[in-house]
Structure 1
């Protein structure tokens, strides 16, 4: 909603949520460049002028989604505790990321589409909040390695591999389901068992 307006009424809040929910569908399917305000308005069941009352542009809608998504994205890594058991702390991060792939597939694809396009709308956040947090956790992992609590690994590539091995199940959902033909989401349980074995063997000194 445009800055400076009064707090939203219940109806206005509902319409804002409806627009963001519709935009999430549209952006996650088509990417930022392939999406239009007309598509979002249609998906939301609103006229384009009505949509523009709440958000002045496609960029504003996308930015609102990304701001919320980035917080969701950072939380699992923030929960990695410096004073916990290193292997279990890293595995806990793996499970939280895998749970996100199961519970927030559209958000994952939204983020992936943005990155593939060069992150034009969120590069400041990637170079800022995300990079800062990753650097902090990389130092924690280096400390665990120096203390002999973890097998030697490159902390950055470890984190990148966790992203790749968990987000794959959201970003390439159609491919995974076409090959495995799972009943519901049972393949996430199989992925959990596989990733537990892989990372536990990799990380245990």
Structure 2
């Protein structure tokens, strides 16, 4: 390995350490509470060393947000318009819950950005997010029109799925405090959300045919 290759590897590793530390700090402290000094400490680097890679905490924050929306939308993209409607919806709900479980810091980072008024993600939300949600809401509406799912507003149905699945990551401390140490909120959530949304999504039974006199 040449000195140039070694330097590049070290730079890549340090950049990754800074982003990982930034994710920890932003998720715990929020954007306003986070500082370059705090991120440098979490990364095990000096402040001047960190500033060599990222000139401001805003630069770290923007870099973290860069790929976040794509990851967050992957479960909705995977909804198959040609699949069985109830199976597809329940699978989407499970994917959303597991994403929140496996990436709680990213969930809190995203929530924090939204609470700030989405200054960095506003355009992506109004274009990329909206286009995907509109497209999947149209699929869900067709399933409802075909009698495969209970009728509701598809956009608000998606919002309710987001709210119920991400709650377990964004408010995990509260959930665990209420349930106690002996209970696993994620295992319970997976089973409970499936039961809940089966009831919500189950189409009304067609009316029984009337006997003619």
TM class by shorter chain equals over 0.9
Shift of 1:199: 0.6
Shift of 1:56: 2.2
Q: Is 2:82 aligned against 1:83?
A: yes
Runs of 4+ in 1 over 3 A off after TM superposition: none
Alignment of 1:120-131 (within 5 A): 120-131=119-130
Output the aligned Cα RMSD.
1.6
SS at match of 1:76: helix
- Select the structure of larger CA radius of gyration: 2
User: Per-residue CA shift, 1:70-100, capped at 9, x if unaligned?
Assistant: 1110111100000011111111111011101
After TM superposition, the structure 1 stretch with the greater mean CA deviation from structure 2, 15-24 or 42-51, is 42-51
Q: Is 2:172 aligned against 1:173?
A: yes
Counterpart CA distance in 1 for 2:86 and 2:170 is 26
Shift of 1:182: 3.7
Q: Which has the higher contact order (CA 8 A, sep 6+)?
A: 1
Counterpart CA distance in 2 for 1:162 and 1:41 is 36
User: For residue 154 of structure 1, what is the aligned residue in structure 2?
Assistant: 153
Gaps of 5+ in 2: 204-213
Counterpart CA distance in 1 for 2:22 and 2:154 is 35
Alignment of 1:1-205 (within 5 A): 9-183=8-182, 186-205=184-203
Q: Is the 2:19–2:64 contact (alpha carbons within 8 Å) kept by the matching residues of 1?
A: yes
User: For residue 210 of structure 2, what is the aligned residue in structure 1?
Assistant: none
Shift of 1:194: 1.1
Counterpart CA distance in 2 for 1:26 and 1:183 is 29
Counterpart CA distance in 2 for 1:68 and 1:56 is 20
User: Per-residue CA shift, 1:105-136, capped at 9, x if unaligned?
Assistant: 11111111111111111111111211111111
SS at match of 1:151: coil
Shift of 1:37: 1.1
Q: Is the 2:168–2:185 contact (alpha carbons within 8 Å) kept by the matching residues of 1?
A: no
Compute the TM-score of the two structures, normalised by the length of structure 1: 0.92
User: For residue 211 of structure 2, what is the aligned residue in structure 1?
Assistant: none
Distance 1:105 1:183, change over 3 A: farther
Counterpart CA distance in 1 for 2:127 and 2:52 is 31
Counterpart CA distance in 2 for 1:31 and 1:125 is 21
Counterpart CA distance in 2 for 1:113 and 1:146 is 36
